[in-house]
Amino acid sequence: MFGVSLFVFLFTFFYIQLESTIPVFSDQVFGGSATSFIFVLNALIVIFFQMSVSKWVCKENSKTPKVLSFVLFGISFLLLHALEHSYFYLFFAIILFSFAEIVIYIRLDYEATNIDERLIASTFGIMSLSSAFGGMAGSYLGSLFYNQEFF
């Protein structure tokens, strides 16, 4: 239960960047329409690929889905930070981010439902609490990184 809660915290920490920091960054670098494209692209990827990705994620018994999702998160942040600011890199980063989101979200729910039946309700409650703290920490640190006050 602790492991699932930790990964929910980390996932929400990264996911909140899509909701807060990345739109501010894209608006400043590319203009207001880029933010709209980010949300539309993310939604379309989740809608069209969630079922096919979930079949693989729920069959896999190893840590591969979790590792893959955090690697994809890392690559997407690297694309947004280190490479040339272009629409291609922005949208490619969002595509990777969206697949990471699908993989980790489905995997964490799958793991939470496959623990001791007596602990499922408690697990989802703790996951919600972890998600809230991950969102707060992600928003705060994302704004610090964006404003370059952290390093």
Structure confidence at residue 60 (pLDDT):
67
Q: To the nearest 10°, the Cα dihedral for 15, 39, 151, 104?
A: 20
Question: Residue 61: enclosing H or E segment and its boundaries?
Answer: none
Query: Is 151 inside any structural domain?
Result: no
Q: What confidence tens digit (pLDDT) does each residue in 38-87 have?
A: 999 999 999 999 999 998 898 867 789 999 999 999 999 899 887 778 88
**Is residue 149 over pLDDT 70?**
no
CA distances from 23 to 17, 54, 120, 142 (A): 8, 27, 35, 11
Q: To the nearest 10°, the Cα dihedral for 117, 114, 47, 90?
A: 120
Query: Is 25 inside any structural domain?
Result: yes
Interior CA angle at 95 toward 51 and 4, to 5°? 60
Domain tally for the chain? Answer: 1
Query: Is 21 inside any structural domain?
Result: yes
Structure confidence at residue 65 (pLDDT):
92
d(CA 89, CA 114): 37
d(CA 73, CA 90): 13
Q: 61 lies in which domain range?
A: 2-146
Query: Is 127 inside any structural domain?
Result: yes
Average pLDDT, the chain: 89
Provide mean pLDDT across the span 82-102: 90
**Is residue 13 over pLDDT 80?**
yes
Query: Is 79 inside any structural domain?
Result: yes
**Is residue 1 over pLDDT 90?**
no
Structure confidence at residue 142 (pLDDT):
86
> What tokens were used for 128?
């919600």
